[in-house]
Amino acid sequence: MDGVSTSQTSAVPFLKGHGTENDFVIVPDPDNVIDLPASVVGRLCDRRAGIGGDGLLHVVRSAAHPEARAMADEAAWFMDYRNADGSIAEMCGNGVRVFARYLQRAGHVESGDLAVATRGGVKTVHIAKAAPDSGADAGDITVSMGRAALPGQTVTVTVQEHSWPTQNVNMGNPHAVAFVEHLDDAGNLYAEPSFSPAAVYPDGVNIEFVVDRGERHVAMRVHERGSGETRSCGTGACAVAVAAARRDGIDPAATGVPVTYTVDLPGGRLMITERPDGEVEMTGPAVIVAEGYIEPALLAQTETPLG
């Protein structure tokens, strides 16, 4: 990034939000002047020594960020998303909803449609108008997540004595979807499950384990690369719905009829619709839970003892 390299001498504002309990540290930085190297992001997302989160949403005007300037005519704001370990990710579906909720809370946008620039392209977001006296965070948010790609190469995922074939689905970031009999078979997902051949995903992969709950209704657990097991994953829920539809012999492009799957995650429920033109839409809640200030020591480029 080309933000100003400086040692922070004053506290920096932050917010904390979640979408179906996939939680994020939100750092507003319209002019892209705050340095956020991986070590700092990891410290902020640390649940014991930092604020805690599955990832970080760096809120920057598109015109101020070198990776988003080409999208500035389409989208005023860029979601510079980081995983909990500080690594950069292309997209985060729950993160986009929380990002939009922050923009609404800050007065940058109102209910209705808006565009958000991401490394996975420009995403169209719709903020439903909340009923009177229903609260600032009421009303679901729908995100047009783009079209799913179905690369031909697949992997086998293994957890202890269990192995499953997967469906390779790309939602701007890679996913390996495994249909299983019991979600508990996935074991401890904080450590990345092994997969083979590894060359299919040279930069790592998000791995979803899925069971059926009813007609067009599934439940899932997920290991997100760079974050471990999370309570929810928006792009993962989209990948699961697309994979489930194909497994069930449904292709909206062929039928001309949209298909919607209910996807239950540990942190809540998302509704995923795939349209005949291939566009995948995700609808769910987004909540801001806190705001405050980051101590300058947490933003230092090197470890600084606190207290």
Catalytic-residue membership of 45: no
197 cis-preceded (ω within 30 degrees of 0) = yes
> Which one from 64, 71, 233, 241 is the annotated catalytic residue?
233
Give the end-to-end CA distance of the chain in Å, rounded to a whole number.
30
Q: How far apart are the C-alpha atoms of 281 and 258, rounded to whole Å? A: 10
Catalytic-residue membership of 238: no
Q: What is the largest CA-CA distance in the chain?
A: 62
Q: Could you give the C-alpha distances from 176 to 118, 204, 206, in angstroms and in order?
A: 22, 10, 6
Beta-carbon contacts of 60 under 8 Å, excluding residues fewer than 6 positions away, are 29, 30, 31, 32, 68, 77, 78, 80
**Vertex 215: Cα angle to 268 and 195 (nearest 5):** 65
> Would you say 306 and 29 are in contact if contact means Cβ atoms under 8 Å apart?
no
CB atoms within 10 A of CB 48: 5
Q: How far apart are the C-alpha atoms of 266 and 21, rounded to whole Å? A: 8
| Structure token pair of residue 147 | 């079209």
Q: Could you give the C-alpha distances from 285 to 21, 97, 143, in angstroms and in order?
A: 10, 8, 11
**What one-character-per-residue DSSP string does 77-99 give?**
EEEEEEETTS-B-S--HHHHHHH
Beta-carbon contacts of 283 under 8 Å, excluding residues fewer than 6 positions away, are 140, 141, 142, 143, 270, 271, 272, 273
> Which one from 57, 92, 180, 287 is the annotated catalytic residue?
92
Residues in the chain: 307
Beta-carbon contacts of 161 under 8 Å, excluding residues fewer than 6 positions away, are none
Q: Which residues are marked as active site? A: 92, 233
